[in-house]
């Protein structure tokens, strides 16, 4: 099922997401819905709060794979870079953001098993962007306003 991606200034985007206690069928169904919504929205990442669910879940899509991470946590960072970012919840808004160029993220996979991933470049940036959403942080909260399409 495709879920509606909520847009700023909806207050649900500011909620602090709760950790997932049990990975079950309902969580896997939510993840499938999030992936469908991300694809329909032509995004490369989506966090559960963006579909109105205050749970610590993110999904990402790269040219190689689609990845879901439950209760993601950044445990290592390296380097930094400035790049322009957009967001499905803030259509037409672009911001230049400073982010770590490399990150290591731990969490759970869709079966509740420990999971870790090392990422760099755009993939690292998307992970950081989506994890920010889990803490109610939007791209308009940090950095300088760059422009509007």
Overall residue count recorded for the chain in this entry: 149
For residue 142, give both structure tokens: 């940090």
Number of independent structural domains in the chain: 1
Burial 26-65 (b: 16+ CB within 10 A, else e): ebeebbebbbebbeebebbbbbbbbbebebbbbbbbeeee
Q: What is the pLDDT along the chain (149 residues), one digit of tens a residue?
A: 999 999 999 999 999 999 999 999 999 999 999 999 999 999 999 999 999 999 999 999 977 789 999 999 999 999 999 999 999 999 999 999 999 999 999 999 999 999 999 999 999 999 999 999 999 999 999 654 444 33
In a domain, 60, yes or no: yes
Q: In 3-state terms, what secondary structure has residue 80?
A: coil
Confidence at residue 148, expressed as pLDDT on a 0 to 100 scale:
37
Residue 49 falls inside a structural domain: yes
Q: Closest Cα to residue 35, out of 8, 69, 12?
A: 69
Nearest 10 degrees: Cα torsion 119, 33, 48, 120: 10
Residue 16 CB contacts under 8 Å (≥ 6 apart), including other chains: 54, 134, 135, 136
For residue 133, being part of any structural domain is answered with: yes
- Which of 73, 76, 130, 144 is the catalytic position? 130
Residue 6 domain-assigned (yes or no) = no
In a domain, 58, yes or no: yes
pLDDT in tens, 118-142: 999 999 999 999 999 999 999 999 6
Q: Is residue 5 part of a domain?
A: no
CA–CA distance, 33 with 87 (Å, rounded to integer): 18
Query: Which CATH number belongs to the domain containing residue 26 in this structure?
Result: 3.90.45.10
Domain that holds residue 71: 11-148
Closest CA to 130 of 64, 79, 77, 86: 86
Does residue 130 have an active-site annotation?
yes
d(CA 134, CA 4): 17
What are the structure tokens assigned to 5, written together?
């991606």
Q: Is residue 22 part of a domain?
A: yes
């Amino acid at each position: 099922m495709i879920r509606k991606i909520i847009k700023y200034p909806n207050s649900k985007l500011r909620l602090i997401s709760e950790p997932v206690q049990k990975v079950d069928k309902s969580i896997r169904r939510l993840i499938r819905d999030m992936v469908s919504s991300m694809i329909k929205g032509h995004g490369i990442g989506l966090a559960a709060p963006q579909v109105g669910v205050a749970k610590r879940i993110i999904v990402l899509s790269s040219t190689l794979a689609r990845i879901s991470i439950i209760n993601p946590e950044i445990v290592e960072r390296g380097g930094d870079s400035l790049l322009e970012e957009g967001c499905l919840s803030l259509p037409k808004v672009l911001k230049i953001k400073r982010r770590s160029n490399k990150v290591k993220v731990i969490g759970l996979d869709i079966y509740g098993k420990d999971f870790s991933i090392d990422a760099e470049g755009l993939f690292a940036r998307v992970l950081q962007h989506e994890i920010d959403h889990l803490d109610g942080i939007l791209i308009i909260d940090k950095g300088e306003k760059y422009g509007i399409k």
